[in-house]
Amino acid sequence: MGPAAPSVLRCDTPRMAGSQAHVLIVGGGGTGGALAHDLALRGVRVTLVERGEFTSGTTGRHHGLLHCGARYAVKDRESAVECIEENMILRRICPGSFEENDGLFVALTDEDMAYYPLLVEGCRESGIPVEELTGEQALALEPNLNPGVIAAIRVPDATMDAMRMPLRFFATAKANGASLHNYVEVLGLEQHAGVVSGAHVRDLVSGKEGTIHADIVVNATGPWSEQIARMAGVDVPIRPSPGVMLALRGRLCNMVVNRCHPSGDGDIVVPQRGLSVVGTSSWVVEDPDDLAVPEDHVRRMYEEGAKLIPAVAHAQERTAWSAARPLIGSKDADSGRELSRTFKTIDHREEDGLEGFVTITGGKGTTLRGMAELCADVVTRKLGMDVACRTRETVLLPHTEFYAA
């Protein structure tokens, strides 16, 4: 299925249509799509704009892992709990979107074995189901593992198509009346007397410019959220953190294979249909469009991935790329490893005295629905609406419905 045709956006959109509140979402990644879906179900009139193709930013560029949260269970318990909760919800509302192949955390050294009980304890305290395995049991499940594996932990990871699964949120939002527009760039925010009331935009296909008026503008642009926030004269605590991923030809494993140690470079191999994706490295940048693919990072993916799956060492490269994670934390962070993978909704009236402007950022592909629920709760409360979230149980339409007329 090809990219969606650019939509035609009619600007000078009124803030209200009758008594229905209007929310403008800036950002067409997974979080923006999930928020459009949530708000549309709550009866809010939604317009979403995206400067490129939907899900073409960070959302569509990750390795396609449905996290169970185990990677964060030792040092980032909040993120671990968020991941396992959303893992279970997404399996329920997105039937057919996941290869439910589970994951292994494999211990190869004495240092890994020292980390092993910490990981088991962290998973259990976070509500993540675990099964402890001997090396022989792990090799029986995944024969291409390093034959020197000492022990392993089985967890409920899964894999997905990083673009198609989020498009199910867009498809369902569209079916419920959300107005979704790609190739529309925000040039600035409409702001007067401490109130944001819309955005100045340019249609990148026609070149036309105009203003979209809204009761609330939501900044859902992930690693670009600081750039949009600056248009309103406020800051958000985001560090864009790119990471390199390496796609290799051939399905070198059937389960998701992780290294049983603190998060590091090249410590996961994710099977993706006829490919295997090794990831990731981590560093921080000021500009989230600065997505280099350093050759030494690619070599590191080969070297570290081969410690998990020896066949990685001689596998043919299909491609390598990088994606910027929107991590919440200090501007002093060096690598991004020390930053949390949790998410946050910022009501800029409370933080900065600026009404009509909300930012949702952080998180992971696995937690996009939960992020949207939290943000929609804030938005509807600001609109004076008392409407419960329905996305925990609403089964999403297939991604192909997004392309239906």
Model pLDDT, residue 19: 58
Model pLDDT, residue 328: 80
104 is a domain residue: yes
93 is a domain residue: no
Query: Rounded to 5 degrees, what angle do the CA atoms 204, 364, 108 make?
Result: 135
CATH number, residue 41: 3.50.50.60
The answer on 290 and 175 residing in a single domain is: no
CA distance 167 to 173: 10
The answer on 316 and 250 residing in a single domain is: yes
The answer on 244 and 320 residing in a single domain is: yes
Burial (Cβ within 10 Å: 0-12, 13-18, ≥19) of residue 5: exposed
User: What DSSP character marks residue 313?
Assistant: G
Instruction: Please tell me the pTM assigned to this model.
Output: 0.93
The answer on 300 and 246 residing in a single domain is: yes
The answer on 317 and 257 residing in a single domain is: yes
Task: Give the model confidence (pLDDT) of 57-113 as tens digits.
Answer: 999 899 999 999 999 999 999 989 999 999 999 999 999 999 999 999 999 999 999
The answer on 226 and 270 residing in a single domain is: no
10 is a domain residue: no
Look at the block and give the residue holding tokens 């998701």. Answer: 256
Q: Please report, to the nearest 10 degrees, the dihedral formed by the alpha carbons of residues 137, 143, 146, 147 taken in order.
A: 60
Q: What sections of 163-261 are H helices per DSSP?
A: 164-175, 225-231
Look at the block and give the residue holding tokens 């609330």. Answer: 216
Number of domains in the chain: 2
The answer on 150 and 243 residing in a single domain is: yes
Q: Which helix (H) or strand (E) holds 343?
A: strand 343-347
The answer on 146 and 183 residing in a single domain is: no
Model pLDDT, residue 202: 98
79 is a domain residue: no
CA distance 365 to 270: 15
Q: Considering only CA atoms, give the Rg of the chain.
A: 21
The answer on 276 and 221 residing in a single domain is: no
The answer on 213 and 152 residing in a single domain is: no
Q: Which helix (H) or strand (E) holds 117?
A: helix 110-126
Sheet holding 195-203, edge to edge: 184-192, 195-203, 209-213
CA distance 362 to 371: 9
6 is a domain residue: no
Q: Are 368 and 166 in contact (CB under 8 A)?
A: yes
Where among 328, 358, 387 does a domain terminate?
A: 328
14 is a domain residue: no
Model pLDDT, residue 194: 96
Q: Are 177 and 23 in contact (CB under 8 A)?
A: no
Phi/psi of residue 242, each to 5°?
Answer: -70, 155
The answer on 182 and 225 residing in a single domain is: yes
Where among 277, 301, 328 does a domain terminate?
A: 328
At a CB cut-off of 8 Å and minimum separation 6, what does 179 contact? 46, 47, 48
Supply the DSSP string of 49-67, one letter for each residue.
EESSSTTTTTGGGS--EE-
Residue 165, classed as helix, strand or coil, is helix
Residue numbers of the domain that contains 256: 100-158+239-328
Task: Give the model confidence (pLDDT) of 150-164 as tens digits.
Answer: 999 999 999 999 899
Q: Are 370 and 85 in contact (CB under 8 A)?
A: yes
Where among 280, 303, 328 does a domain terminate?
A: 328
2 is a domain residue: no
Report mean pLDDT in 10-residue bins for the chain, 405 residues.
52 53 97 98 98 93 94 93 97 96 98 98 98 98 98 98 94 98 98 97 97 98 95 91 95 98 94 95 89 95 98 98 83 48 87 96 91 97 97 97 87
Model pLDDT, residue 336: 47
The answer on 171 and 146 residing in a single domain is: no
CATH number, residue 265: 3.30.9.10
121 is a domain residue: yes
